[in-house]
Amino acid sequence: MLEGTEVRTGIDFFEFRKENPEIAEKIIFTGMIDEYFGYQLGALEYRSVRFETEVLDCENYQGNAVVNYTEREVPYTRIIEHKHFEFGKQEKTVISREYSSEWSVGMEPYYPVNDEKNNALFEEYKKLAEKEENVIFGGRLGDYKYYDMDKVVAAALDRLEEFN
Ligand SMILES: Cc1cc2nc3c(=O)[nH]c(=O)nc-3n(C[C@H](O)[C@H](O)[C@H](O)COP(=O)(O)OP(=O)(O)OC[C@H]3O[C@@H](n4cnc5c(N)ncnc54)[C@H](O)[C@@H]3O)c2cc1C
């Protein structure tokens, strides 16, 4: 996909664009759509996740890489036991507990809150996006939508068709 394209990582799009406003004929923007428009209509809301990672003195904690915990009494929503992704045989094991947490502007945006209020605000940002002629907005932050990996790849291919 990126063949023949110069790739730079660790660069903030907004900072880069300030210094290089004319660099691209067409932009594919996968960041937060409200941030792109300077939050001029207000900020879209997200849920965040706090990770608590622990090394345990046992070979196997939960027998699987990913287990969801849905009981009301359990404060975390999921435990990742990393070694099971790679069939690790180490004596110890590393687990990460995931706690759903509040989000505020400046934090990592994990899950969009697709309720009526936020979806309506997104629709307003989408109208602004449609007027940006040389920018294609996409991905989970550009579309303000929870996508699994397969869905986001499908959406990217569909978007490409629209612009071809
Ligand atoms: C906590 C969590 C768990 C998940 N678990 C699963 C799972 O188990 N299975 C599954 O199929 N999917 C899972 N997903 C979904 C999966 O991660 C997404 O579908 C996928 O990453 C979306 O790809 P994307 O390109 O839209 O967004 P991203 O992967 O977020 O890529 C967007 C890119 O844009 C960059 N960017 C944003 N703003 C700027 C800026 N201002 N300047 C420069 N770069 C910027 C970001 O750094 C990032 O690299 C999970 C998502 C989350 C949040």
Structural domains in the chain, sorted by start: 13-43+109-162 (3.40.50.720), 47-102 (no CATH)
CA–centroid distance, 139 to ligand 1, in Å, is: 8
The answer to whether 106 touches 48, Cβ cutoff 8 Å, is: no
Task: Say what the pLDDT of residue 3 is.
Answer: 84
Task: Say what the pLDDT of residue 11 is.
Answer: 95
Q: Is the CB of 148 under 6 A from ligand 1?
A: yes
Task: Say what the pLDDT of residue 155 is.
Answer: 93
Task: Say what the pLDDT of residue 116 is.
Answer: 97
Task: Say what the pLDDT of residue 25 is.
Answer: 87
Q: Is the CB of 99 under 6 A from ligand 1?
A: no
Ranges of residues in the chain whose predicted pLDDT is under 70 = 1, 163-164
Task: Say what the pLDDT of residue 164 is.
Answer: 64
Q: Is the CB of 156 under 6 A from ligand 1?
A: no
CA–centroid distance, 93 to ligand 1, in Å, is: 26
CA–centroid distance, 30 to ligand 1, in Å, is: 9
Rounded Cα distance between 31 and 20, Å, is 18
Where are the alpha helices (H) located in the chain, listed in sequence order?
Answer: 13-19, 33-36, 116-131, 139-142, 149-163
Q: Return all residues near 111 (Cβ < 8 A) that are at least 6 apart.
A: 46, 47, 48, 49, 146
